[in-house]
Amino acid sequence: MAIVYLGLGTNLGDKTANLHTAVHQIEEKIGDVVSLSSFYETAPWGFDSENSFLNAAVCVETALSPWEVLHGTQEIERSMGRKQKSVQGIYHDRIIDIDLLLYNKEIIKTAGLTLPHPLMHQRDFVMKPLVEIAPDVVHPVFGKKLREIFILSA
C-alpha cells in the first residue's frame, strides 16, 4: 500500500459540499482516507477571480499506482463537473481541483505526471493544510520535513 497526499480546492458553488463530495469519491475510487485537514479559505492564486477558494489536504492509503491515482482524480473532477484543466499556467474558476502532491517518496518526471508536485512548496494554500496533517513527512527532493519547508517559505 502507498501513502498519497492530495491537495483539494474549489471556488464555485457550495464549496464545503464540493470538498466533502470529493473526499467521499476519493474514498470510493482511490483508497482509504487516513486524514483530512481543516478547510482553509484562500484568495485565488495565478489568476483574478471574485470567488475565494476553499482548500484542504487529504492523506490516502491506496493500492493504485501513481498514474492510476492521477487518472482516478481526473475522473472525479470530471464527474463533479470540471470542464477544463489548467494548462501552461492559465488558471480558471473551478468546481473542484485535485492535485497529486506526494506518492510515498517517489520522484517522477514525465510529460503527464511530476512528483512531488513541482509548485506545492510555493503555494501556502497547499502547504498549510498539508503541514496540518503531515508535518513530519520528508519532501523527497528537498530532504526536509514539510513543516520546515513551510516555515522557510513564510
Question: Which residues are marked as active site?
Answer: 82, 94, 97, 99
- Reference 133, options 64, 66, 70, 56; nearest CA is 56
**CB neighbours of 110 closer than 8 A, spacing ≥ 6?**
none
What is the helix (H) or strand (E) element at residue 55, kind and residue range? strand 53-62
Cis peptide before 44 (omega within 30 of 0): no
75 close to 29: Cβ distance less than 8 angstroms? yes
69 close to 62: Cβ distance less than 8 angstroms? yes
**CA gap 59, 134 in Å, rounded:** 8
